Structure 1
Amino acid sequence: MFVPCFVQESVFSFAGFTLLMPAVSVGNAGQLAINLIISTLNMSKIGYFYTDCLVPMVGNNPYATSEENSIELSINAEEYSLPSKKLVALQLRSIFIKYKSKAFCEKLLSWVKSSNCAKVIVLASNHSYHHNDLQLRSTPFRYLLTPSMQKSVQNKIKSLNWEGMENCPCIPEISDSEFCIHAPGGGITKTLYDEGCSKEIPMVVLLKFVSERDNIPDSLGLVEYLNEWLQIIKPHLQCDDPTASALPWKMPSFWRLLFGSGLPPALFFICF
Structure 2
Amino acid sequence: MFITSQNATPVFKDFTLVLPAVAVGNVGQLAVDLLISTLNLPRVGFLHTDCLIPMAGNNPYTTGKDDADELHTAAEVFAAPELKLAVLQLRAPIVKRKSRCFRQLLLSWIKASGFSRAVVLSSSHAYQRDDQQLQGTPLRYLVTPSLQKCIGDAFKDLGWIEMERMPICPGRLDAEAEEPRLYVPGGGITKGLYIDSCTEDVPLAVLLIFCSEGDNVPDALALVNHMDDWLHLLDNPNREPKWKIPTSWNLLFGSGIPPALF
**TM-score bin, normalised by smaller chain:** over 0.9
Percent pairwise identity: 47
Alignment correspondent of 2:214: 213
1:4-43 correspondence runs (5 A): 4-8=4-8, 10=9, 12-43=10-41
CA distance in 2, matches of 1:237, 1:7: 39
Could you tell me the TM-score, scaled by structure 1's length? 0.92
Match of 2:49 among 45, 48, 51: 51
Give the drift of 1:236: 7.3
Q: Does the residue aligned with 2:153 lie in a helix, a strand or coil? A: helix
CA distance in 1, matches of 2:169, 2:105: 29
Alignment correspondent of 1:242: none
CA distance in 2, matches of 1:94, 1:5: 20
CA distance in 2, matches of 1:130, 1:90: 28
Q: 1:145 to 1:260 in 2, by over 3 A?
A: same
Unaligned stretches of 5+ residues in structure 1: 239-245
**Does the Cα contact within 8 Å between 1:36 and 1:250 map onto a contact in 2?**
yes
CA distance in 2, matches of 1:172, 1:204: 27
Q: Does the residue aligned with 1:7 lie in a helix, a strand or coil? A: coil
Q: Does the residue aligned with 2:256 lie in a helix, a strand or coil? A: coil
CA distance in 1, matches of 2:198, 2:123: 20
Please identify runs of 4+ aligned residues in structure 1 that moved more than 4 A. 171-174
**Does the Cα contact within 8 Å between 1:36 and 1:252 map onto a contact in 2?**
yes
Q: Report the RMSD for the aligned CA atoms in angstroms.
A: 1.3
Unaligned stretches of 5+ residues in structure 2: none
Alignment correspondent of 1:191: 192
- The one-letter amino acid paired with 2:258 is P
CA distance in 2, matches of 1:169, 1:110: 32
1:39-118 correspondence runs (5 A): 39-118=37-116
- Higher-Rg structure is 1
Alignment correspondent of 1:3: 3
Give the drift of 1:35: 0.2
Match of 2:119 among 118, 121, 125: 121
CA distance in 2, matches of 1:155, 1:172: 30
Alignment correspondent of 2:231: 230
Give the number of equivalent residue pairs.
Answer: 259
Q: Does the residue aligned with 1:69 lie in a helix, a strand or coil? A: coil
Give the drift of 1:171: 4.5
